[in-house]
Amino acid sequence: MVNPSGSAVVAAEKNRKGTGRTQKVTLTAAPAMLDLGGGVMAKSWAFSGQVPGKEIRLSVGGTLVAELSNRLPNKTTTSIHWHGIAMRNDMDGVPPVTQQAVRAGANFTYRFVTDAPGTYFFHPTSASSSIEACPRR
């Protein structure tokens, strides 16, 4: 098993070419109301009140520091999974495989260098995703 702080990971991270530029973002997972049009509103969960979530842009070699703030109700856990980006396994957001789920009321900071150009996406994991239609008020 590869340990996130093991020698193989440390060596791979040293080879990752970073520019030293850092972009910090906060992604707050919380309940939100979505306007589906035609007078239909839906209860949902969103990152920082937006669906889809806000675009994050970085240059090759930049470091992303993304703080996930879990403000979901009750005991709802979540995390963020980043698709297609080569990174440390412990930043990949797949509970319980690569990290523990982030409990309601807690935060977790993802930090990784983006060393390949491309278009990538991220999404929450662990939290169930359901939408319930409700009348406009």
pTM of the model: 0.81
Instruction: Say how far apart CA 26 and CA 64 lie, in whole Å.
Output: 11
Q: Which pLDDT does position 128 carry in this prediction?
A: 47
Instruction: Say how far apart CA 48 and CA 28 lie, in whole Å.
Output: 5
Q: Which pLDDT does position 57 carry in this prediction?
A: 92
pLDDT by position in tens, the chain (length 137): 557 777 877 777 777 778 889 999 999 999 999 999 999 999 999 999 988 888 999 999 999 999 999 999 989 999 999 998 888 888 988 888 888 999 999 999 999 998 888 899 999 987 444 444 555 55
The domain over range 7-135 is classified in CATH as 2.60.40.420 = yes
Please measure the distance between the N-terminal and C-terminal CA atoms of the chain and give it in whole angstroms.
Answer: 53
Strand locations in the chain, DSSP E?
A: 22-37, 40-47, 62-70, 79-83, 107-114, 121-125, 132-135
Q: Which pLDDT does position 51 carry in this prediction?
A: 87
Q: Are 66 and 56 in contact (CB under 8 A)?
A: yes
Domain residue limits, the chain: 7-135
Q: What's the count of helices (H) and strands (E) in the chain, helices before strands?
A: 1, 7
Instruction: Say how far apart CA 90 and CA 72 lie, in whole Å.
Output: 22
Instruction: Say how far apart CA 8 and CA 12 lie, in whole Å.
Output: 6
